[in-house]
Structure 1
Amino acid sequence: MSERDDEIDLDLDSGGKALLGEAPAKKRAKAKPKAKKSKEDSDSRASSKGGVTLPLSMLSASSEDKQLFSDKKAALKASKISPKDYNIKIHLNVGDVVNHKTFGLGFVMAVGGLNKVEVLFDVGRKLLVTGPKP
């Protein structure tokens, strides 16, 4: 027998012992401890699913947003301002009131770059596309 045949025989012998339960137990690697997140690192509006932060448009309304919406809605009734029907072609500014066909009454909270506005609806804040400045 050659040296190579001896190696093959050894491998077969160890495989046979493993099948019969005579093989020594393998050592397992120790797991590394996971780093703990501090409360300061976590975002209160972030999703807890796998540490993934959801986009603004997918988050539900927080209690502060619901309170702010109800306050603005009451002020709107007192001021007799009529909301604009939302259309992708119109330009919106902070403070404008819109009526969206899906989300209903909304208040423009911020104007972002690339013709986008943040609007507060009863269901939460949504990022909408708006027309360019005239």
Structure 2
Amino acid sequence: MSKQLAAGDFIEARCTRCRAVTNHTIIAMVGTAPVRVRCNTCDGDHNYRAPKVKSAPKETTKARQPGATRKPKAIQQDEQQWQEAAAQLQAGQTVPYGMDKAFKTGDAVDHPVFGVGVVVEVIPPNKVEILFEAGRKLLRCKLS
């Protein structure tokens, strides 16, 4: 059996100053509900805010297939495009990447950090979008 709350009682509440759930003293009540409280940590007065209750994790209605990915379609398409481009590349076909070099769509580029990539788009005046195994990167280049 729980005790009925009254002014002067202690209650847990979310403090607006502390930004945490702390012990409070009830200052004002409307009926059986506390409406105004004082934080016992920072002595700030504010309206009563009930502590948030953590809900149980939701169960998924669909059973996930083993090995199924939840990647956005754009990322899946990039990965597939990379696989196809990498299969067509031959040894020695790549050009070392450099900011002082000009590229065109379809060029195979060897970047010192990102590895081998394929130029997807040339963006004037001085940028190029390259598809690497790790994803698309927007890099600087020379105006062609």
Q: TM-score normalised to the size of structure 2?
A: 0.50
Q: Structure 2 stretches of 5 or more lacking a match? A: 1-6, 10-25, 37-46, 48-71
1:95 corresponds to which letter in structure 2? G
CA distance in 2, matches of 1:22, 1:68: 65
Aligned length: 85
> Which of 83, 100, 104 is residue 70 of structure 1 equivalent to?
83
Aligned-partner residue type, residue 67 of structure 1? Q
Give aligned-pair identity as a percent: 33
Displacement of 1:19 in angstroms is 5.0
The runs of at least 4 consecutive aligned structure 1 residues that moved more than 6 Å come to: none
Q: Which string of whole-angstrom CA distances, capped at 9 and with x for unpartnered residues, describes residues 36-71 of structure 1? A: xxxxxxxx47xxxxxxxxxxxxxxx82221221121
* Rounded Cα–Cα distance in structure 1 between residues aligned with 2:138 and 2:126: 10
Displacement after TM superposition at 1:112 (Å): 1.3
Q: Which has the higher helix share?
A: 1
User: What per-residue deviation string (whole Å, max 9, x for no partner) do you get for residues 46-100 of structure 1?
Assistant: xxxxxxxxxxxxxxx82221221121111122xx661110000001111111000
Aligned AA (1:72): A
Gaps of at least 5 residues in structure 1 are: 1-17, 29-43, 46-60
The amino acid across from 1:127 in the alignment is: L
SS of residue in 1 equivalent to 2:137: strand
Indicate if the aligned counterparts of 2:124 and 2:143 stay in contact, CA closer than 8 A. no
One-letter amino acid matched to 2:29: P
- Find 2:114's aligned residue among 103, 109, 127: 103
Offset at 1:113? Answer: 2.8
- Measured in 2, the distance between the counterparts of 1:82 and 1:22 equals 78
TM-score by length of 1: 0.53
SS state of the match for residue 24, structure 1? strand
In structure 2, the residue matched to 1:94 is 105
Which protein is richer in strand relative to its size?
2
Task: Tell me the C-alpha RMSD between the 2 structures.
Answer: 2.9
